[in-house]
A = this chain, B = another copy of it.
Amino acid sequence: METLEREPLAVWLNLVQAQTVVAEALEDRLQASHGLSLPEHEVLVRLYSEPSRRLRMHVLAELLLLSRSGATRLVERLVERGLLTRGAATSDRRVIYAVLTDEGARIVEDSFPEFDRAVGEVFAAHLTSNELASLRRMLRKVLAGNGAWEDQRCNTVVPTRASA
């Protein structure tokens, strides 16, 4: 099995390509149905999955793999659309919370089910559930090996329209 040893680079390129293709497909659907970019949608979902429906800017930036200035402008755009509000913290006056508005929450409830379905169709549908589990294990090992923060919140996301 030592013959095919240019593997790692090829696999890395495949990973980049797959990520790009899937992200484009997801973003297209999201754009068409609700006029949201992928990061914009993620902000809404992240906030929705928070019981208090708010998150400090700094934490939001980390979750979105974004710089703090990037986060600032991202929420700024969503505030202008009325999907978010900025809220000050009582104890620490440096902190600003990004807060989901009712309309923002409504949009999540509207868009998330189809988004979740899209992830299934575009990405997960081509893999067995064993492969999916195996893939996750591998990715976590890579993340851990690079000292990446383990995002527990992945398990806590939206209860998929409990009201319906």
Is A7 engaged at the interface, CB distance under 8 Å to the other chain?
yes
Distance from A123 Cβ to chain B, minimum over Cβ atoms (Å): 5
Distance from A20 Cβ to chain B, minimum over Cβ atoms (Å): 5
Alpha-carbon distance A141/B125, docked complex (angstroms): 10
Query: In the assembly, how many copies of this chain are there?
Result: 2
Is A79 engaged at the interface, CB distance under 8 Å to the other chain?
no
Is A129 engaged at the interface, CB distance under 8 Å to the other chain?
yes
A65-B20, A135-B11, A146-B21 given; A6·B127 CB < 8 A: no
A9-B116, A120-B8 given; A25·B141 CB < 8 A: no
Within 8 Å by CB of A11, from B7, B116, B139, B157, lies B139
Query: Which chain B residues lie closer than 8 Å to A162 at the CB level?
Result: none
In this complex, the interface size class of chain A, counting residues with CB under 8 Å from chain B, is 35 or more
A window 1-42: CB within 8 A of B: 1, 6-23, 25
Q: A51-81 interface mask toward B, CB cutoff 8 Å, 1 = contact, 0 = none?
A: 0000000000000010000000000000000
Within 8 Å by CB of A17, from B13, B138, B151, lies B151
Alpha-carbon distance A46/B123, docked complex (angstroms): 28
Query: Which chain B residues lie closer than 8 Å to A12 at the CB level?
Result: 22, 119, 123-124
> Quick check: A11 and B124 within 8 Å, CB to CB?
yes
Please list the residues of chain A having a beta carbon within 8 angstroms of any beta carbon in chain B. Answer: 1, 6-23, 25, 65, 116, 119-120, 122-127, 129, 131-136, 138-146, 148, 151, 154-155, 157
